[in-house]
Amino acid sequence: AERRVYRATTTAPVNIAVVKYWGKRDPKLNLPTNSSLSVTLSQADLRTLTTASCSASYPAEEGDSLVLNGEPSDVSGARTQACFRELRARRAALEAADPSLPKLSTMPLRLVSENNFPTAAGLASSAAGFAALVRAIADLYELPASPSELSLIARQGSGSACRSLFGGYVAWRMGEAADGSDSTAEQVADASHWPDMRALILVVSAAKKGVSSTSGMQQTVATSGLFRERIARVVPQNMAAMEKAIRERDFASFAEVTMRDSNSFHATCADTYPPIFYMNDVSRAAIRAVEQINAAAGRTVAAYTFDAGPNAVIYYLEKDTEAVVGTLYHVLGGDISGWKDAVVKGLKPSLSL
């Protein structure tokens, strides 16, 4: 038997949405109820590193496996299986067209993944994780797939993962097709288009989130009336305003849309029955601190946004670092346990893009 081990390694960055994905119109294919837009963070600060390998010498009965941060991790979930299936089908098509190619599609897959940030901290690790997993296997299989096609596969692992296949400012277009073929990510602008953009992550709590994004979305779609208003009017407006703000490098507009969209998303969560609360008292203190910083500056220098957990992400421009990071540290330093850890671990408090 062929003993050779085939291998490929890649990294994928974390992204943080400024117009949020919240709601699935097709839970099986991860098709969203609305388009979304995110900023991809610097790989130096937050990324997943994944190696994919396969070999005919790997025992078939062990099947496919994943080791995440040194611990065996389950790959039997429908989302991971969908990614494996899509990638194997593309490889099998190449092998059918060219019989001289090794039959990698039939070999067990082994994946080894490491995050350079605390996985449990609720820092959108699934986005970087699935993006890296899909690209590592696509590289291993030498697929001629574009980032857009890979985004379509990563989307089936975790919706937000489709945006981590691109750097800079990235839109995920919801699409219309029932099979999801037009629900892919695309770059709106490269990071160099607005190079002084910064993101600060405030780790309010490293505890795992209470309500998963999947069940939170399902409950919101099923029970919130406000949600219907959000997808019909609020998000389309925010997407258009956000793309214009990015095009024009208009930070005040970027910030206002970011904060309004985060508020709108959390309002739909509070409007479900029973209500879902992702933010806590420290999250709300961070919102008030940002309002005070902006009032004191006499212009909008900082924007907050929150995902499905209490941690805050603050966007600001490099030139306002002192006013934003200095003040937040002064006001919230004692309440944010993760702050000291992040600095000690060498994660700079200011995460450059």
- Chain residues that interact with ligand PMV, rule: CB under 6 A: 17, 20-22, 36, 124, 126, 158-160, 213, 307-308
Closer of 140 and 200 to ligand PMV (Cβ): 200
Closer of 104 and 124 to ligand PMV (Cβ): 124
Closer of 195 and 275 to ligand PMV (Cβ): 275
Q: Write down the least CB distance from residue 218 to ligand PMV, Å.
A: 11
The answer for residues whose C-beta is within 8 angstroms of residue 24's C-beta and 6 or more apart is: 30, 31, 32, 33, 159, 214, 217, 218, 221
Q: Write down the least CB distance from residue 74 to ligand PMV, Å.
A: 17
Q: Write down the least CB distance from residue 21 to ligand PMV, Å.
A: 3
Q: Write down the least CB distance from residue 33 to ligand PMV, Å.
A: 12
Q: Which residues pair with 276 in a beta bridge?
A: none
Closer of 10 and 160 to ligand PMV (Cβ): 160
**319 exposed, middle or buried (CB, 10 Å; 0-12, 13-18, 19+)?**
exposed
Rounded Cα distance, 94 and 98, in Å: 6
Closer of 63 and 277 to ligand PMV (Cβ): 277
* C-alpha distances in Å from residue 124, one per residue of 91, 178, 213: 29, 27, 11
Q: Write down the least CB distance from residue 198 to ligand PMV, Å.
A: 19
Please list the alpha-helical segments (H only) found in 114-202. 125-140, 147-157
Closer of 20 and 47 to ligand PMV (Cβ): 20
| Beta-carbon-side half-sphere exposure of residue 349 (alpha carbons within 13 Å) | 18
Q: Write down the least CB distance from residue 174 to ligand PMV, Å.
A: 12
Angle between helices 147-157 and 78-97 (to 10 degrees): 140
Closer of 294 and 311 to ligand PMV (Cβ): 311
For the beta carbon of residue 185, count every other beta carbon within 10 angstroms.
Answer: 28
Q: Write down the least CB distance from residue 95 to ligand PMV, Å.
A: 31
- Supply φ then ψ for residue 260, to 5 degrees: -60, -40
The answer for residues whose C-beta is within 8 angstroms of residue 123's C-beta and 6 or more apart is: 14, 46, 117, 201, 203, 311
